[in-house]
Amino acid sequence: MKLSTHVQGDFTIATIGETRMDAAIAPELKHQISQLLTDGATRIVLDLSQVQFMDSSSLGALVGLLKMVGNRGDLIIVGAKGIVADLFKLTRMDRVFRMTDSVEAALGAVAA
């Protein structure tokens, strides 16, 4: 799975470099993001702008990560569009996750 990360202020920006998030990459996604948490990241912005398809296994991995973050930090989903955004809406996960259109909007929303 392609995942690039960089730190911007208090935030770790993690960009998924895949067009598909499915059962084949869900465990690796969960492992890599949980490793960021283990390494001390508490505010993670997960950029899904390159993702064109996501299935329930990847959504489940994201829910698991949200539980790991808990009250200790933030997990913000950015850039979900098309059927990826539809999946969040259909499952009402758009009400569970903090979601924005861009990394800049996510950083601004938390700073406000």
Contact residues for 42 (Cβ-Cβ < 8 A; gap 6+): 10, 69, 72, 73, 74
**Each residue's pLDDT tens digit in the chain (112 positions)?**
999 999 999 999 999 999 999 999 999 999 999 999 999 999 999 999 999 999 999 999 999 999 999 988 999 999 999 999 999 999 999 999 999 999 999 998 776 5
Q: What is the pLDDT, as a whole number, of residue 68?
A: 94
CATH of 3-8+18-100, one of 3.30.750.24, 3.30.70.100, 3.40.190.10, 2.60.40.3880: 3.30.750.24
